[in-house]
Amino acid sequence: MSGCVKAAFSFLGIVLIDQLVKYYVEMTMLPGESIPVASPFFHITFVLNPGAAFGIFRDQQWLFLVTAVFFVVGFLASYARLRRSGCLIHYGSVALAAGAVSNLIDRIRIGHVVDFFDFRVWPVFNVADIAIVLGAAAVLWALFIQKKELLS
């Protein structure tokens, strides 16, 4: 299977899993409802986030929409180059883009992002947020740590 096909499956898998879990949470819970899974450490809590990470820039939907669209267009325009940049940069960028697209779908669909993972010591987040963080970490690792190791 080619790298492009794997990347497409990864992208679609992240978006699909995130959207399906969010849909399930929306259909089975009320906003603000919390279900202890491993109390007191982990709950599933239905939060409608009107902001970005940690709730910053509350109610700035236009900013998030424009930023996400520019990011996705930039990702698509530079995809051929990203694909040749190594595995971590390639798949990290795919995960980052998939998370951004899935959260963008929420913003377009309901005007908020659905969050649900609640560890009580960290703001509530979702699968797309995990993809964004892990994707960004993979890209940064490749750019700064791996590159430095290769040059040593």
- Residue-wise pLDDT for 102-140, tens only, equals 999 999 999 899 999 999 999 999 999 999 999 999 999
Residue 85: give the domain boundaries.
3-151
What pLDDT sits at residue 58?
Answer: 67
Sheet strands (E) in 12-86: 34-38, 42-49
Tokens of 63: 């900013």
What pLDDT sits at residue 81?
Answer: 84
d(CA 60, CA 107): 11
What pLDDT sits at residue 149?
Answer: 53
Count the neighbouring beta carbons within 10 Å of the beta carbon of residue 121: 6
Give the pLDDT band of residue 148 (cuts 50, 70, 90). Answer: low
Which residue from 137, 114, 125, 151 is spatially nearest to 53, judged by alpha carbons?
Answer: 125
Residue 152 has pLDDT above 50, yes or no: no
Residue 20 has pLDDT above 90, yes or no: yes
Task: Tell me the β-bridge partners of 34.
Answer: 45
Residue 26 has pLDDT above 90, yes or no: yes
Positions annotated as catalytic residues are: 115, 129
Q: What is the mean pLDDT of residues 12-19?
A: 98
CA 16 to chain centre: 12
How many domains would you assign to the chain? 1
Tokens of 116: 């649900």
Task: Tell me the β-bridge partners of 43.
Answer: 36, 118
